[in-house]
């Protein structure tokens, strides 16, 4: 494998490899392992959702059609060559930030937060979702133009590029998404080889920054969440209720779970938001430790595939973008399961592919579309 990088000419002229490109999946720009894992997740998620929503078939059908739409978006994106996308990334970034600005000024308010652009009858659109894909692309595009590892100036510019949408989303307020945007940019910097010393300094700086945020940035409800996270029993009927009940749901599932549709916590409405952010608790209650571990395994296989794609990408832009997307995907998983199981404070991060919600599904599948695009548009594919 190492050899191939060193022997540029030989790889290019390998006829066998060129012939293999002609397989059906590759001609459709589809990555087999990714598609297989995603279909597996989609099927499993509909079962869990049926139970978590209290046997609401309408909801399941809606989610299934979101899956269909997302898959379509994924396949369409996969057809576009990443290098072609790279050209439009700066424009997309500017557009995303402008839309966030529009949300800030005249966005549609839902549930105490302004996250939507709503043109009635035409489209309901969440610019922050768009940025989840474009943010790592922007940083990847910027860093790929220069030598790695990024120097002080490039790092600073990257952070500024991340900072603008981060602050705008934080002000919506949507702490969960803002963190994911920040993470996706930061992971690109990390993959690009940000010096360890700087990373260490940044981690050390987190404490004063966190204190500053507590006093000047965080909303009351966010402070309350953090407070509840630190001591859920302090307000068992109020904000601590969610965590106590979700822990009870997970814990009472045991090793093998109570069985599909037999979870009492979710079916008797003790579990809040059981079909959205807290759906992992339903899965853990009904399928036990075994069920959750299987789900984690599928996620890790997806991530592993993403890592392979990262390493094998042939452009630096592709490597950085793929790495950022893959690692951000893990952040989704980790933050969601961590918060529901009481390891992390409650921030609004859905469980990828399992939580109900079309927007998040389309965004995630679009991300995998990008991975497929990066992987299937390579000029040489010797290292599959």
Partner 1 sequence: MPEPIRLKDHEKDARQVRARAVVGAVAIALLSLVLMARLYYLQVIQYEQHSTLAENNRIHVQPIPPNRGLIFDRNGVILADNRPSFSLTVTRERAGDWQKVLDTIVRVLELGPEERTLFERRVRQGRRPFEPVPVLFELSEEQIARIAVNQFLLPGVEVAAQLVRHYPQSEHFAHSVGYVGRINERELKKLDPVAYSGTHHIGKTGVELFYEDLLHGQVGYEEVETNARGRVLRVLKHTDPVPGKDLTLSLDLSLQKAAEAALGDRRGAVIAIDPTSGEVLAMISQPSYNPNLFVTGISGKDYAALRDSIDRPLYNRVLRGIYPPGSTIKPVVALAGLDSGVVERSTRIFDPGFFQLPNVEHKYRNWNRGGDGWVNMEAAISRSNDTYFYSLAHRLGIDRLHRYLSHFGIGQRVSLDMFEEAEGLMPSREWKRIKRRQAWYPGETLITGIGQGYMLATPLQLAQATALLANKGKWHRPRLLMKADGLSPEQLMASGLLEARPAPPDIQLKDPHNWDLISSDMQQVVHGARGTAHKVGATARYRIAGKSGTAQVVAIRQGEKYDRNKLQERHRDHALFVAFAPAENPRIAVAVMVENGESGSGIAAPVAKQVMDAWLLDEKGRLKAQFAVPPQEPANAQ
54 vs 254: CA distance, rounded Å: 21
Please state the closest distance from residue 338 (CB atom) to partner 1, in A: 7
In a 3-state reduction of DSSP, which class is residue 218? Answer: coil
Among 305, 319, 377, 378, the residue binding partner 1 under the rule CB under 8 A is 319
Q: Is 25 in the site for partner 1 (CB under 8 A)?
A: no
Q: Report which of 365, 334, 376 is spatially closest to residue 351, judged by C-alpha positions.
A: 334
Residue placing its CB nearer to partner 1 in the complex, 82 or 99? 82
Considering only residues 281 through 310, tell me which ones interact with partner 1, judged by CB under 8 A: 284-285, 288-289, 292-293, 296, 300, 303-304, 307, 310
Q: Is 253 in the site for partner 1 (CB under 8 A)?
A: yes
Please state the closest distance from residue 41 (CB atom) to partner 1, in A: 16
Please state the closest distance from residue 282 (CB atom) to partner 1, in A: 12
Report the chain's C-alpha Rg in angstroms.
Answer: 22
Site track for partner 1 across 201-240, x = CB under 8 A: ------------------------------------x---
Q: Max alpha carbon distance in the chain (Å)?
A: 69
Strand partners, 118: 124
Residue 64: how many CA atoms within 13 Å on its side-chain side? Answer: 12
Q: Would you put residue 81 in left (φ > 0), alpha (ψ -120 to 50) or beta?
A: beta
The answer to whether the Cα torsion of 135, 141, 143, 144 is positive or negative is positive
Residue placing its CB nearer to partner 1 in the complex, 70 or 324? 324
Strand 108-110's sheet: what is its strand order? 108-110, 113-119, 123-125
Residue placing its CB nearer to partner 1 in the complex, 217 or 248? 248
Considering only residues 163 through 182, tell me which ones interact with partner 1, judged by CB under 8 A: none
Residue placing its CB nearer to partner 1 in the complex, 118 or 146? 146
Binding interface with partner 1 (CB under 8 A): 5-6, 8, 147-149, 187, 190-193, 237, 244-245, 247-255, 264-265, 268-270, 284-285, 288-289, 292-293, 296, 300, 303-304, 307, 310-311, 316, 319-320, 323, 326-327, 330, 334, 337-338, 341-343
């Amino acid at each position: 494998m190492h050899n191939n990088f060193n022997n540029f000419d030989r790889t290019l002229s390998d006829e066998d490899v060129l012939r293999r490109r002609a397989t059906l999946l590759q001609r459709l720009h589809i990555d087999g392992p990714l598609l297989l894992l995603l279909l597996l997740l989609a099927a499993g998620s509909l079962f869990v959702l049926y139970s978590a929503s209290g046997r609401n078939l309408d909801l399941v059908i809606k989610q299934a059609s979101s899956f269909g739409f997302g898959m379509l978006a994924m396949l369409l994106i996969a057809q576009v060559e990443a290098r072609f996308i790279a050209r439009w990334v700066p424009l997309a970034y500017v557009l995303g930030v402008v839309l966030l600005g529009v949300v800030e000024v005249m966005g549609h308010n839902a549930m105490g937060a302004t996250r939507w652009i709503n043109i009635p009858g035409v489209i309901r659109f969440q610019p922050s979702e768009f940025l989840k894909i474009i943010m790592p692309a922007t940083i990847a595009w910027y860093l790929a133009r220069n030598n790695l590892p990024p120097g002080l100036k490039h790092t600073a510019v990257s952070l500024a590029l991340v900072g603008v949408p981060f602050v705008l989303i934080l002000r919506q307020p949507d702490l969960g998404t803002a963190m994911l945007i920040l993470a996706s940019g930061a992971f690109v910097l990390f993959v690009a080889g940000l010096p360890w010393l700087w990373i260490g300094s940044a981690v050390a700086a987190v404490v004063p920054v966190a204190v500053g945020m507590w006093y000047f940035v965080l909303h009351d409800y966010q402070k309350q969440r953090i407070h509840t996270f630190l001591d859920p029993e302090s307000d068992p009927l109020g904000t601590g209720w969610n965590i106590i009940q979700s822990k009870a749901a997970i814990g009472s599932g045991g090793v093998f779970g109570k069985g599909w549709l037999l979870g009492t916590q979710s079916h008797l409405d003790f579990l809040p938001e059981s079909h959205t952010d807290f759906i992992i608790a339903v899965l853990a209650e009904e399928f036990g430790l075994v069920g959750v571990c299987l789900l984690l395994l599928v996620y890790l296989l997806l991530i592993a595939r993403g890592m392979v794609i990262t390493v094998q990408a042939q452009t630096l832009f592709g490597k950085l973008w793929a790495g950022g997307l893959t690692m951000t995907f893990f952040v989704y998983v980790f933050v969601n399961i961590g918060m529901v199981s009481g390891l992390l404070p409650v921030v609004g991060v859905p469980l990828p592919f399992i939580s109900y919600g079309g927007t998040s599904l389309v965004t995630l599948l679009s991300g995998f579309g990008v991975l497929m695009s990066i992987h299937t548009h390579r000029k040489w594919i010797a290292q599959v």
